[in-house]
Structure 1
């Protein structure tokens, strides 16, 4: 039932957009009664948040190739692949346009990306353990550095994103991490010196 409701939620988002997304339409599409949906999710925002987090967890897998370069490359390429698909485009539109100013959508966006970061952090922890990145490297900061140029192009500049974009993002993130710029507590130290 959960998978059917998630699939219906994303299908409604792609077909009709966030503004027209209703629990009733999702339930109808999933073939369940709306009270079944409301028993599990209190409103459309919690339903959408759960569906988005689950979609991103399955659509953007966490690689384990044995090398940080290829792990990050696979991760960056899967981000691009996920967000250039019709479902990915609908997700971006829901999270960053139209209703993006609503507190519940901002909270949903934060939850989805926090979930995504926590799922991907083991990639960096393994690399630190293998000696491929310096001790004290902040996994979340490396992932944010990796994703930043991709999201800049997707959301701000509307430049095309492709494997070259992914590979360049990997090189930048790794260079910063290996230079010690993305150490845990680095921001607090820098702020204290200013």
Structure 2
């Protein structure tokens, strides 16, 4: 008779060993080891995600820079996905994953600037005015950025108005806020047309940048653009 028929208990058949699903932590590890392994896995995932984001940002910059170069050199009519791909080295399929067409790209274009300047820490004074102008110049100091702004200011194309909203309008608002603080403090005279002053400042930067390309030594003996602009504006804006 078999062991089963004699009532002899049969041993349980060995259970199959199940492997852990990819990316999971074995459940039978000690707590401290499990935490360390989990941290290591998260670190690897985080680094991989960071590299992907960095590559995406680099690709976005290539696309934007190529678009701006086409705008500046050939005009808005020359901006096509094919031409942007050729100049940027980014595949057309990659560009189409981001933008539906050239019009969509133009509507979402971004000017290369160093970041919008902040003037909240500046006191209204002659030195404060000069520092504000220096920060504005630093914001638009990229040759491509200034030229792109010039294209926007001389174009009536609706697709480029996003650049005004993106950069020029906030910069103008902060400029006006600084000047109005000075008016309230009695440092700047009342009745100033602050928005016109901002346009004057921006136009001066564009003109000086354009002229400097033909006369690189222009104005080097008389100080920086911000210093010369301050000397020009101060007698006309100060209250005394």
TM-score normalised to structure 2 length: 0.50
Gaps of 5+ in 2: 1-52
Distance 1:132 1:6 in 2: 44
Match for residue 126 of structure 1?
181
Runs of 4+ in 1 over 6 A off after TM superposition: none
Distance 1:59 1:9 in 2: 19
Distance 1:142 1:114 in 2: 14
Match for residue 233 of structure 2?
173
Q: Over the residues paired in the alignment, what is the CA RMSD in angstroms?
A: 4.1
Structure with more relative contact order (C-alpha pairs < 8 Å, separation 6 or more): 1
After superposition, what is the alpha-carbon deviation per residue over 1:57-113, rounded to whole angstroms, capped at 9, x for unaligned? x534122321332333123223444444xxx2123444546xx65735774665553
After superposition, what is the alpha-carbon deviation per residue over 1:24-63, rounded to whole angstroms, capped at 9, x for unaligned? 747948x966344449x95222122xx12xx44x534122
Equivalent of residue 43 in structure 1, options 88, 104, 128: 104
8 Å contact from structure 1 (residues 73, 166) kept in 2: yes
Distance 2:149 2:188 in 1: 32
Match for residue 118 of structure 2?
62
Distance 2:143 2:123 in 1: 31
Distance 1:27 1:109 in 2: 24
Distance 2:99 2:173 in 1: 27
TM-score normalised to structure 1 length: 0.59
- Paired residue secondary structure (1:169): helix
8 Å contact from structure 2 (residues 188, 238) kept in 1: yes
Gaps of 5+ in 1: 181-194
Distance 1:13 1:42 in 2: 11
Task: Go from structure 1 to structure 2 and tell me whether the alpha carbon gap of 1:13 and 1:175 turns closer, same or farther (over 3 Å shift).
Answer: farther
Match for residue 150 of structure 1?
205
Q: Bigger radius of gyration, 1 or 2?
A: 2
Task: Go from structure 1 to structure 2 and tell me whether the alpha carbon gap of 1:125 and 1:101 turns closer, same or farther (over 3 Å shift).
Answer: closer
